[in-house]
Amino acid sequence: KVAPAQPLRGTPIMEALFIINDPPYGTERVYNALRLSHALLKKDAQTAITVFLMADSVAAAKAGQKTPEGFYNVERMLKRVLAGKGRVLLCGTCVDARGLDQSELMEGAQRSTMDELATATHSADKVLVF
């Protein structure tokens, strides 16, 4: 028997795309999606994580969030995704509809498009929708 090919060092073993729709606070969908993304990175640091924020979830990338002590902060959670070499993409139409300006968004979050989401969906091994 021939052993299965091993991935090259530095090559992502899995590409996971998280599509998030809910507002950052009020429900726990954003929180739970980001918890899962962190767990995947912890399991294998070479996992390629893309978080695509659309609808009300684009507010999760707003810079300077102040949450009560002991309460989760989605801005910090998104920074952990970025620190793990992940991507945080925002639906540009959704950003505009909510009157957010690029200067209000956290560093590393990138304005994106449906075409880019389609490309990310096509190349992902796993697509998780929250």
Distance between the two ends of the chain, CA-based, in angstroms? 41
The continuous run of DSSP H or E covering 75 comes out as helix 74-83
The closest alpha carbon to 32, from 15, 43, 20, belongs to 20
What is the tens place of the pLDDT at every residue in 10-55?
565 899 999 999 999 999 999 999 999 999 999 998 999 999 999 9
pTM, whole model, 2 decimals? 0.88
Per-residue pLDDT at 1 exceeds 70: no
Per-residue pLDDT at 79 exceeds 60: yes
> Which value, in Å, is the radius of gyration of the alpha carbons in the chain?
15
